[in-house]
Amino acid sequence: MNNKGSYLIESFLEMMSSERRSSKNTIAAYHRDLSEFLAFMKKKDKDLISNNIDDIRAYLRLLSGSLTSASIARKLSSIRQFYKFLFEEKIRDNNPSINLDQPVKKTVLPKFLTKEEIDNLIQTAKESTETDDVRLLCMLELLYASGMRVSELVSLKLTNFQYQQNNLTPILTVRGKGNKERMVVINDHAISAIDNYLKIRHVFESEEESLWLFPSCGSHITRQRLGQLLKALAIKANLDPKKISPHILRHSFASHLLENGADLRSIQRLLGHSSINTTQIYTHIQLGKLQEVINKFHPMAKET
């Protein structure tokens, strides 16, 4: 019985590879998910041919004690694809996964810094004129001014910028997810930081001139290195380093824009989101802040 289950899983994976052209990572994930499911069925002395929807529900209940809803949803997707295959191949005469409910995903609100914390970071970075700190200030100002993804920032090239009468313009182009190009707007603070950094940029170049805005070791600075530098800066600024990351700066950019009256469509374009649904997560932050205000100041809320 156990060997039969392993054979069925291997048959499914072979189909996904040959007919669906699934990637190696996808195949590996299916294999892991289904092998764990098979192990659970073995403990219940059940097989993958005769088990039913209650057996699958019991497995999902077990997972709910240790995994997030997103992880459970992925494993459920693997199980559904597997049973669809068994049914279509007439290995089973029913599909026990059809009526399974999708796990409810919890809305995880993005973390962000307050305006005071951002200002504290920037002012701390300005205290030093060392070349590393001048570069870090430039990256910090660019991230907060534009809301760029960290991958977009570190891969910036000098050609991404536009000049007018030898002066940097506030508009540059970046390549985001899916290699899509979009326009990004920056403010005067970021432009000033870039100008100051360009004066010492040659320090970070190797023997050959680099095309990257932030060259390092023959390529460009890595996102991991930038994350380390930001956490070190947070410690200098007496902030919790766990609260600081390039992605949190992106969230802060969007949250502060919304807080100051920017509309969601504009924020969507600035962030490079393909769907407005992704951007709407920031409205939940504002609703959370309003709830805090009510709980703090409403007279009825204070009653116990």
CA distance 73 to 76: 5
Q: Is 282 a catalytic residue?
A: yes
Q: Which of 75, 250, 251, 256 is catalytic?
A: 250
First to last CA, the chain: 60
CA distance 235 to 256: 23
Q: Is 247 a catalytic residue?
A: yes
Q: Is 31 a catalytic residue?
A: no
Q: Which of 177, 180, 199, 265 is catalytic?
A: 177
Q: Is 298 a catalytic residue?
A: no
Cα-Cα-Cα-Cα dihedral sign, residues 42, 47, 48, 51: negative
Distances (CA, A) of 280 to 81, 98, 167, 218, 283: 31, 31, 36, 39, 5
- HSE value, Cβ hemisphere, 13 Å, CA-based, for 156: 25
CB distance 247 to 150 below 8 Å: yes
Report helix angle 2-18 to 69-88, nearest 10: 90
Burial class (CB in 10 A: 0-12, 13-18, 19+), 87: middle
> What is the DSSP annotation of 15-71?
HHHHTS---HHHHHHHHHHHHHHHHHHHHTT--TTT--HHHHHHHHHHHHTTS-HHH
Q: Is 256 a catalytic residue?
A: no
Q: Which of 149, 220, 251, 256 is catalytic?
A: 149
Q: Which of 75, 135, 220, 273 is catalytic?
A: 273
Q: Which of 30, 83, 144, 282 is catalytic?
A: 282
Burial class (CB in 10 A: 0-12, 13-18, 19+), 198: middle
Tokens of 88: 């279509």
Q: Which of 57, 80, 225, 247 is catalytic?
A: 247
Q: Is 296 a catalytic residue?
A: no
Tokens of 109: 């609100």
Instruction: Give me the active site residues, please.
Output: 149, 177, 247, 250, 273, 282
